[in-house]
Amino acid sequence: MVHTWDPQRYLTYADERGRPFVELVARVGAEAPRTVVDLGCGPGNLTALLAARWPGARVVGLDSSREMVEAARRDVAGVDFEQADLREWLDTGGEAVDVLVSNATLQWVPGHLDLLPTLLDRVRPGGWLAVQVPGNFDQPSHTLRTELAAEAPYAEHTRDAAVPSSHDPATYLDALARLGAQVDAWETTYLHVLTGEDPVFTWVSATGARPTLQALPDDLRPGFEDELRRRLREAYPPGPAGVVLPFRRVFVVAHKPAPSSEAAR
């Protein structure tokens, strides 16, 4: 089932969504890469940080969403943005890159653990692969949507909607280490303090819940949204600081060793 993305809605909490990207890329040790690729670049606001860090590199942002790519091309200079599906980009082969970043994208690719060898193959020897995925799919922000979507009259419409998933840091570390990479993997749980009316609904409706919402017919969507808002308000009541959304993120940075001088002879 095809769904679309809304760049403006996605950017509602741009600072909160951007912090994991910054912390991920900070662990990439590349000094002067020639080519940097951002797989799943979204509206390009974070890809711009790659161009700022490595001004001598050709920076490319790829996203399957036409809406995201159009927004990126309009708002971000100094980056080449292309509309492309991640799996299709991998299948086409092509020149290897020095830094390959995938931030909050692989969770939408079923069986993405099997893609790690191909992702690492697209990195030059001595290059870097950096991946970040959400790891909070056991939290009410996701489980409440899943439970409601399984109820009548919604289930018949939502059963094929895309649902994100990911693995623990140790799983990614083991998979990439077996491929010969030097791996740094970790997790962080952020406590996002959100404001506004039904802020958790605003957050999830831009990302994890969006495919489910778009799968519903127009006559059912308002009722689903109202009930999901109600359940999320109960799960995330306001406190002294505001509405707190705990958000676990999983990070992995893999350095592909360069051939030793002896091996290269």
Side chain identity at 41, as an amino acid letter? C
Q: What's the order of all strands across the beta sheet hosting 243-255?
A: 80-83, 58-63, 35-39, 97-103, 123-134, 243-255, 182-194
Q: How many other CB atoms are there within 10 angstroms of residue 187's CB atom?
A: 13
DSSP conformation class of 260: P
Q: What is the pLDDT of residue 70?
A: 94
Maximum pairwise Cα distance, the chain = 69
**Per-position DSSP letters for 188-224, written without gaps between them:** EEEEEEE-SSSHHHHHHHTTTTHHHHHHS-TTTHHHH
| Cα(210)–Cα(180) distance, integer angstroms | 37
Q: How much is the pTM?
A: 0.92
Q: Which domains does the chain have, with CATH numbers?
A: 7-264 (3.40.50.150)
Q: What tens-digit pLDDT sequence spans the chain (265 residues)?
A: 455 655 555 555 678 888 999 999 999 999 999 999 999 999 999 999 999 999 999 999 999 999 989 999 999 999 999 999 999 999 887 889 999 999 999 999 999 999 999 999 999 999 999 999 999 999 999 999 999 999 999 999 999 999 999 999 999 999 999 999 999 999 999 999 999 999 999 999 988 899 999 999 999 999 999 999 999 999 999 999 999 999 999 999 999 998 874 344 3
Side chain identity at 97, as an amino acid letter? V
What residues contact residue 122 under an 8 Å CB cut-off, 6+ apart? Answer: 37, 90, 94, 96, 97, 100
